[in-house]
Chain A
Amino acid sequence: AQSVTQPDIHITVSEGASLELRCNYSYGATPYLFWYVQSPGQGLQLLLKYFSGDTLVQGIKGFEAEFKRSQSSFNLRKPSVHWSDAAEYFCAVAQLNSGNTPLVFGKGTRLSVIA
């Protein structure tokens, strides 16, 4: 079955440091990949998405992600983290002709930012 794995449940980084959140997917065809962010007490907001073409995707708030087919990965990066980036981050994969799970989410990575 198709799945998304976010290996890190919780990550803590210092403000100004670089960030990389990992995401691995299991899907036979070319996937549609997404990163969403959830601030405390709020719904999810799209950061970026990949369908095809350039494997390095730029998103909002200075985030980027790189699709690596050989590694089945879509890791999220930011060169310099701000305190306001503290949130939960979800990777998701869209499945065409998918039956009852059109969008599958990973379990999330909680990001804490320290001074």
Chain B
Amino acid sequence: DAEITQSPRHKITETGRQVTLACHQTWNHNNMFWYRQDLGHGLRLIHYSYGVQDTNKGEVSDGYSVSRSNTEDLPLTLESAASSQTSVYFCASSDGQGPQETQYFGPGTRLLVL
């Protein structure tokens, strides 16, 4: 069955380190998204991509970067991890054109920055 996976599921790192969170989907969806979920804030969009070589900044993109070299993967990199980036990170994908399409979410990565 097609799916969307995230790795690692849990990560502990130290401030200042570079961290990369992986997201892989087998639906061949054009659109991929990264969100962070924090208590009291719901889900906030970090970056998104509408196709290979396309990336766009979301609401809370500072300190994060993404690259889209193929359809299946959208890795999220924290250039220099900060304690404020402790959060649960969700990757999602969707098909079709634009934000009205249903998004399918991965299981999440829980990141702790010490």
User: Is A102 a contact of B42 with CB atoms below 8 Å?
Assistant: no
User: Is A107 a contact of B98 with CB atoms below 8 Å?
Assistant: no
Chain A contact-residue range equals 20 to 34
Set of chain B residues within 8 Å of A96, measured between Cβ atoms: 98-100
Q: Report how far A90 CA is from B37 CA in the complex, Å.
A: 12
Chain B contact-residue range equals 20 to 34
Set of chain A residues within 8 Å of B106, measured between Cβ atoms: 43
Q: Report how far A17 CA is from B92 CA in the complex, Å.
A: 33
Set of chain A residues within 8 Å of B35, measured between Cβ atoms: 105
For chain A, residues 24 to 43, give those with C-beta under 8 angstroms from any C-beta of chain B: 32, 34, 36, 41-43
Closest residue of chain A to B98 (Cβ to Cβ) is A96
Set of chain A residues within 8 Å of B56, measured between Cβ atoms: 100
Set of chain A residues within 8 Å of B59, measured between Cβ atoms: 100-101
Set of chain A residues within 8 Å of B57, measured between Cβ atoms: 100
User: Is B40 a contact of A107 with CB atoms below 8 Å?
Assistant: yes
Set of chain B residues within 8 Å of A98, measured between Cβ atoms: 99
Set of chain B residues within 8 Å of A36, measured between Cβ atoms: 105
Q: Report how far A63 CA is from B82 CA in the complex, Å.
A: 40
User: Is A102 a contact of B41 with CB atoms below 8 Å?
Assistant: no
Q: Report how far A32 CA is from B101 CA in the complex, Å.
A: 9
User: Is A101 a contact of B100 with CB atoms below 8 Å?
Assistant: no
Q: Which residue in B48, B100, B103 is a CB contact (below 8 Å) of A51?
A: B100
User: Is A90 a contact of B102 with CB atoms below 8 Å?
Assistant: no
